[in-house]
Structure formats: structure tokens, C-alpha cells
Structure 1
Amino acid sequence: MKTFDTIIIGFGKGGKTLAAELAARCERVAVVERSDKMYGGTCINTGCIPTKALVHRASIAALRPDTPFDEKREFYRRSIDWEQGVVEALRERNYRNLADNPAVTVFTGSGSFASADEVEVTTAEGTERLRGRRIVINTGAESVVPPIPGIADNPRVHTSASILTLGELPRRLTIVGGGYIGLEFASIYASFGSEVTVLEGSPELIPREDRDIAAEVMHVMERKGVRFHLGARVLSIKDAGDEAVVTFSDGANGRREVHADAVLLATGRRPLTEGLNLAAAGVETDERGAIRVDGHLHTTAPNIYAIGDVKGGLQFTYISLDDYRIIREELFGDGSRTTQNRGPVSYAVFIDPPLARVGLSEQEARAQGFDVRVKKIAVASIPRVRTLEQSDGVLKSVTDAQTGAILGCTFFGPEAHEVINTVSVAMKAGLKADFLRDFIFTHPSMSEAFNELFA
């Protein structure tokens, strides 16, 4: 049996960063990753990096809408090859960063708890048992595959991971699920030149957002050619040889069919705990399958932590990174950093244009009893967008009418994923709306819209 100070199951953002930190402090660390295609975690291999690489290439394709489809198909094929090259380079770099560290041992195999301080690892060479005085679970999440007849072994059905290696641009793409992941892929493939249909089971699109924002997103995407069916229940997906036939019901119109060259399942993600044998370690999960943790990320076993997507909540790589900081500060600092005092966390959806938000929506603020002041401005009114030729979208601020505190902000427009961070910093620092109202921003820029948005 090999003994380590810390065993980390999963090679994701928080886990790999913690491994490097502990190794620098002369601890012996084991990192267990079940797939050699996942060094670096979801973000690098099947999430943020490959999808945002395709967002970039799709934006180039969108500038040439009149290109014949055969040329669009070739540009897409080259884009997939380039995106996969980016992923492979980053995966190798992440692997080498840990594998070449003499204090870190990387095991490529499946990890399973034998007890609260022992992990059994099954590799291609066999099985061995590791013991660690501290264990960190960082296994991430996986795509939810709904029990729809016709999905199993259907070569035309993809998840958000498998579609990233699809070398042939589908002329017709049907996306099951209209959440944030589904919308990102809808935007990407519509820009590349596919005819995109989104089947969303809910009667509302992106219900987390205010209805005026969701309506604007839907309107902009429909103008780009994306077709939406809300309240759609998918009944079956049939492989008809040269196409897929998706049968669905949307209530008002009964059973309907849509024909596609490819189908993407974008029906959510769930914590990846299968095969971990958590019961042997005394680690409990909640009703959604996420590992239960306290504010310092301890599980129900005191020496075992859970970080990243596997513990539920916001599934972002920067949350996993902040989880690392919480553990670092508990081990080597004063332990004051917790999940409860992260402050407002912004997020972005990389559609075209991107949608980003931080803090409360108008609906949420009113539901919490705030005396709300709301301000909205059209993106088209911002001078910078005229130079970008991107005038779609809207900006919205929500402030406390009594105190001037910034409660939330939604930015649906060019560079939203960047400029939303300005609002996040202001909120974290406790700055009020008048700070952004009177701040001197460069011109022309998207940021200067805050002068008006918070007026």
C-alpha cells in the first residue's frame, strides 16, 4: 500500500491547483484521474475551452453568411481540428505540470473508497490501494442522458462532450434542451451555418432570468435563424439511416416531428459520483446526488473534502478554483474564507451576443422585499457598438432605491462576459450605484454604458 499526505480524486481545476500547492509545501500527493482524455478537468477538455474556441470560429463564420454550404462545412471541419489541437496541447501541459513534479504521483484509473482514508485505484496494469490522511473528491459532473426511446447506440445523438469532436457540420441540428448549454450550442451552430431547432421542455426559456431578458434573447436568436419549440416533450429519436427523426409533443399541436442530421442532448448535468463507493467512507449525498459539504467543503467524513461540480451548486471552473482557495486558507491561513462569503458570483452564456449576469434579477429582488429601482438601456444606444456593428441586446441594472446598493446587473450585448466583472468587483467592494454612474471609463467602450445604466 502506498501512503500519501493527500489523495485527490479527479484532475479538475480545483484539484490540480491544490495538488501543486500541497506539493510546493513538501506534501506527497496522489492524483487519480480515470481517463487520459480528462487531464485538466471538464473545462479544458469538454467544457469552457473547446466551446469558447468554437464560439470564436463561429463568429468568423457568421461574417460570411452567403458562403455556399460546402465551404461552410470545410471551414467547420478545420475549426474542429483546430479546437481539438488547442485541447490536446492544454491537456498535455496540465498533465506534465503535475506528473513531472516529484512530489506528485498521477494514477490514470478509477478511484473507489475502501474506507475513509483508503482509495482503491483500478488502472490498466491492475489494482492498488492508496492511503491518505486527507482526501479530496474533485470528480466533476456528467451530462444527463434522459430516458428517451431511440437514444441508445444512436450514432446521430450527441452530448455536449461528444459533439465537440463531430467533424461534419450538420445541415440540420436539433437540440433537446434550451438551457444555457443548449443556447450556447444553438448559437455556435447557427453561426457556422446549420439550421438549428431547440426543443425546450419548459414553457419558458431560461427561467432563471427576468422575462424581459429571456424574451430579448429569444428574439435575437430567432433573427439569427434558430427555431424554438417551448413546452416540448420529446417522445422518441429514431435513426432513419440518413437522418434522425425526433418526435415530440408540445401540447397545443399534439405530436410533431422534426428531421435532423444530428441531435444534441443538452438536458443538464449531474454530479459524477458513480463508482466512488462513498458509503464506505461515510460520505453522504443530498437528494440531487451532490456530495454534502459544509462552508469549508468538509464532507460528512471529517478528513474528506469535496470541491467543484461534484458538490452541486454553480458549475463553473472559477468556483472550483475558489474552492481550492477555501481549503488552502483553512490549511495554511486563518480559515476565514468559506462558501458563504464568496460574495456575488457573475456568470456568462457565450451566445451571440453573450449574456452575463451578477447578483439578483429584478424578480428575485422584488421577491426578497427590496424597494427596487430598475434601469434598462438598449445596446444600440452605446457608441461602441456602432464601431463593432453589433447592436443587438439590452442592459439592465437593479438597485436598492433606499440605499443605492447594487443588487444585480444583466448585460446582454458585446463583450458582456468581460464587462460584467466590473460590476462584480464593485459589488464585492461594497460600492454603490453612484460609483459606477460617475466613474471615468475609456471611450468608446462597452464599460462606459455603466454611466447611464446606473444613473
Structure 2
Amino acid sequence: MLEDRVETFDAIIVGSGQAGNPLALALAKQKWKVAIVEKGALGGTCVNTGCTPTKAYVASARAAWAISNAPNLGIDVPKSPKVSLKAIKKRKDKLVNESRLGLRKSLADSPQVSMIRGTATFLDKTRLKVGSRILKSYKIFLNVGARAGVPEGFEEVDYLTNSSILQLDKIPDHLVIVGGSYIGLEFAQIFKRLGSKVTILEMGANLISKEDKDTSEIVRAILENEGIKIICGAKCLKGKNKKSGGVTVTFHKDDNDKQVSGSHLLIATGRIPNSDLLKVGKANLEINEKGYIEVNSKLETNIEGIYALGDCNGKGAFTHTSYNDYEIMEDQLFGEKKRTLDDRIINYALYIDPPLGRAGMTLAQAKKSGKKLMFARMPMSEISRAKEKGETQGKMEVIVDADSDQILGAAVLGTGGDEIIGTFLTAMYAKLSYKKLMKSVQTHPTVTELIPTLLQQLKPVED
């Protein structure tokens, strides 16, 4: 009787994120009958609660900052900017909806693709249950993403996440942020520039602990220069709602119990994969201690015919890595079967202003590699283009393998850093000797033109 209700497909994709949607269309192009299951809004994190909405807010915050900073460039502004979060949100919502509608049309225009709404759970290795429907396929692709994690001590308190904070239509009086990494720092600067008082509480000794200490210290200085209060080394964090409204966070620091109260609380302590929603045990899928679905370099899980793409596999937490997972999968299915995760060079950006662009290893990571290294660093304050723009905070740095002359890593923290890092990344993918880039002639006046100068300053790294 159960088998009579089963709907069979050539492929089932769970999640319409940045790997799932293009994969559905690619499979449909090959005349596969495809089911794509989505429990929320089309587009996944990037479209709905990640890149598109947050970078729209970054742009609005940058505009407010530019007006306030105009007197430093000789432009007299009579009044401070009047900020309307309702209007900023309306603009953001328009961008998000345009992206959703575009995705919906692309999928709807493909007769091979069936969109199924709901949460999918495994029944066994080939069958999934979605509501009252049972779907079956010998090819299942998991693109279920991740969500904000909430640490112990905050379960009963009113808090915001990276998703719900985007629904506010009034500027918080005082935004307290628990978590001093990428998401927390971006929202800290956004809301400070829009008019909030902002306090960041970080358990670790430094902000963005994955970065080198020098980078962390510069980022901290950038944010503190804008009036953001930062408290690192805050242990035993707990939240409590105030009867009068707002939230109080208590913590332990320097052998003392302390507290910070604010009108709003943002939890930004990391993300957890949505694999727990799938009931993966029914399919005997292997997950690691952090909940990520284990995959090999071809994105195959331990179960033949089941693959994991995007944030849920722990191999990258970015739109570009998720889309690259799709590209790897398409090549493995229909191409030369040569593309794998091993080809990928980690790269990302921290979208505070000025932004940080990162490609490859940090200096600390490179030192652990055992390679013979060369390293160079240059402050943005020495770069003419940065001085002309009045934006001299930050640095550029590069790490080179002294034996192979290959660039192992680079960081650009400063004006245009998120774009400029692409120059290093291109050289790394092309496996160019750093000397080729060092001898290149770049456009003047730009920040990029100082890359050859930076490379000329390479010196051996002492053990």
C-alpha cells in the first residue's frame, strides 16, 4: 500500500539554495525528472537572510557614514542624516523579492522540475517524506544549509538572529551583540552607523579568532573608532529579559561578574547545519561531531547516490563555495569528472567598512604548514589612493612559499579590499610565480597598483 503512494524521480534535491537551484536546472536540461523540496523561501540564506539583504543594509549604512564624514573631505553638511529603517527595509525587501521571483520563474519554466514545499525527512536510503507525500530516487542531493546557533543561557530570553534582525523597522536604541565574528561585526557597524549604540561581547581573547591577531586588532580599532564598545574575554554569558523592556546580559571577566543592558540583543555566535532536520539516521548517513554531513572531494556521502552540497557539508559557508559545489557536481555527473573540492582555494570577505578580503592561508596557518615562507605587509596609510579617498585604515599582506615562489595567502583589509583580493586569488589559481605579479604594471591611481610594491618587500619568515 505504501509503495502505491510513492512518487518516483530521477533526482531529489532538498533545499533551494545556491547549489540546489542551478543543479535542478542542470539536471532538467539533461531531461531528468527532478523534485526540489524547500521548507522556506526560495534562494536559501544568500537571497533571504545573507548576502542580498545584509549588503543592502551595508550600502545604506555606508551612505549614512559618507554624509557624516563629508566634512573631513571639505563638504559642509548642515545636519546629520535622518535614517529611516523602514525605508531601508523596504528597499531590502524589494531586492530580495526580485531575486525570489526570478528563481521561481526559472524553476516554473522548466517542466522537468517539480517544486515541493515542506520539510523533508528520510525514511530510508532512497525515500523521503514531505508532509503526506513520499518521494523516491536513487540520486538525492542535500542542500539544506545552516541556521543561527543559540548558546546555553539564552534560551528564555528575547533575542534576534541574523534573520530576524532584518525584520526590524525601528533603529534599536542599544544593540548588544553576543559574538565577535563576521556576522556580529557586520551588524555592529551597520546599526552603529544607522544610529544605534552598540556593544559587542566576545568570549575569546580577540575578535574574529580565525584571523591573525594583527588583523583582529586592526578590525577592533576600526570599529572602536566609530564608537562601538567591544568587550573580549567575556565568559559565562547569560541573558535575561528586563521587566521594563530590553535585555540584560551578564558575564564574567577579570575575576568579576559584570553586565550590559540594551534594548535589543543579537545572537551571533555561529551557525549550525540543518542536517538534524533530515533524520539522517534513517539513511545511515555519517555526520561529524558538529552536525555536518561527511563528504569526500566529489561531494559523495558514505551512502551511494546521496550527496551533500553547500553549508551542510562543512566545506565552506559562503555563496561562492556553495555554487562551486554545484559546479563540481555538474562536472562529476555530466562533464569530465575532473573538478573536486581539492581544487578550491578558500577565499571570503568580512563586510565591515573598510572590508577585509582573504585568499588562502593566514600567516598562522602557513607557519603550521612547515613550508619555507616569505611575508610582506604594508599599511593602507602608505597608499596614495587610500589617502586621496580619506580611508587609510587597514593593511595589505601576502605570504609566499620561498621554494616554489607560489602565493599561499593574502589579505587586503582596507578600501576596496573585497574586490582587490581577486588579483591575488587569480594569481593563485593560475599558479603564477609571485615574481610575475611583482613585475606587472597596474593602473594608477589604485590600491591594486601597490601589490607589486608589496611583493618587492617580501622577507623570510623566522621560525
Q: Same fold (TM over 0.5)?
A: yes
1:333 offset after TM fit, Å?
A: 1.7
Task: Please say if 1:377 is aligned against 2:378.
Answer: yes
Where in structure 2 are there 5+ consecutive unaligned residues? Answer: 1-5, 70-76, 457-463
**Any idea what SS the aligned residue of 2:19 has?**
helix
Distance in 2 (alpha carbons) for counterparts of 1:241 and 1:137: 45
Aligned to 1:350: 351
Distance in 2 (alpha carbons) for counterparts of 1:68 and 1:153: 41
Task: Please say if 1:105 is aligned against 2:138.
Answer: no
Aligned to 1:9: 14
Residue identity in the other structure for 2:368: A
Residue identity in the other structure for 2:357: A
Distance in 2 (alpha carbons) for counterparts of 1:400 and 1:304: 38
Distance in 1 (alpha carbons) for counterparts of 2:10 and 2:444: 53
Distance in 2 (alpha carbons) for counterparts of 1:79 and 1:253: 42
Using structure 2 for the length normalisation, give the TM-score.
Answer: 0.92
Task: Give the one of 137, 140, 143 matched to 2:142.
Answer: 137
Aligned to 2:342: 340
Task: Please say if 1:22 is aligned against 2:27.
Answer: yes
**Any idea what SS the aligned residue of 2:162 has?**
coil
Task: Please say if 1:242 is aligned against 2:251.
Answer: no
Report 1:397-408 matches (<5 A): 397-408=398-409
1:223 offset after TM fit, Å?
A: 0.6
Task: Give the one of 45, 48, 53 matched to 2:48.
Answer: 45
**Any idea what SS the aligned residue of 1:13 has?**
coil
Distance in 2 (alpha carbons) for counterparts of 1:245 and 1:225: 20
Deviations along 1:220-242, whole A, 9 cap, x unmatched? 11111111111112122323333
Task: Please say if 1:184 is aligned against 2:183.
Answer: no
Distance in 1 (alpha carbons) for counterparts of 2:290 and 2:53: 28
Task: Please say if 1:303 is aligned against 2:305.
Answer: yes
**Any idea what SS the aligned residue of 1:356 has?**
strand
**Any idea what SS the aligned residue of 2:10 has?**
strand
1:401 offset after TM fit, Å?
A: 3.0
1:176 offset after TM fit, Å?
A: 0.1
Aligned to 1:121: 130
Deviations along 1:123-159, whole A, 9 cap, x unmatched? xxxx11111121101100010011214x4362xx100
Deviations along 1:99-119, whole A, 9 cap, x unmatched? 231110001111111121111
1:86 offset after TM fit, Å?
A: 0.9
**Any idea what SS the aligned residue of 2:123 has?**
strand
Task: Please say if 1:80 is aligned against 2:81.
Answer: no
1:28 offset after TM fit, Å?
A: 0.8
Report 1:45-64 matches (<5 A): 45-64=48-67
Taking only the aligned residue pairs, the percentage that are identical comes to 35
1:70 offset after TM fit, Å?
A: 9.8
Task: Give the one of 217, 220, 226 matched to 2:219.
Answer: 217
1:290 offset after TM fit, Å?
A: 0.5
Aligned to 2:278: 276
1:254 offset after TM fit, Å?
A: 1.1
**Any idea what SS the aligned residue of 1:441 has?**
coil
Using structure 1 for the length normalisation, give the TM-score.
Answer: 0.94
Distance in 2 (alpha carbons) for counterparts of 1:309 and 1:355: 21
1:51 offset after TM fit, Å?
A: 0.6
- The answer (yes or no) to whether the contact 2:126–2:140 under 8 Å persists in 1 is yes
Residue identity in the other structure for 2:68: P
Distance in 2 (alpha carbons) for counterparts of 1:328 and 1:298: 13
- The answer (yes or no) to whether the contact 1:202–1:232 under 8 Å persists in 2 is yes
Residue identity in the other structure for 1:180: Y
Q: Give the length in aligned residue pairs.
A: 443
Aligned to 1:152: 156
Aligned to 1:175: 177
Bigger drift between 402-411 and 20-29 goes to 402-411
Task: Please say if 1:287 is aligned against 2:289.
Answer: yes
**Any idea what SS the aligned residue of 2:277 has?**
coil
The alignment's C-alpha RMSD in Å is 1.8
Residue identity in the other structure for 1:100: D
Distance in 2 (alpha carbons) for counterparts of 1:394 and 1:71: 30
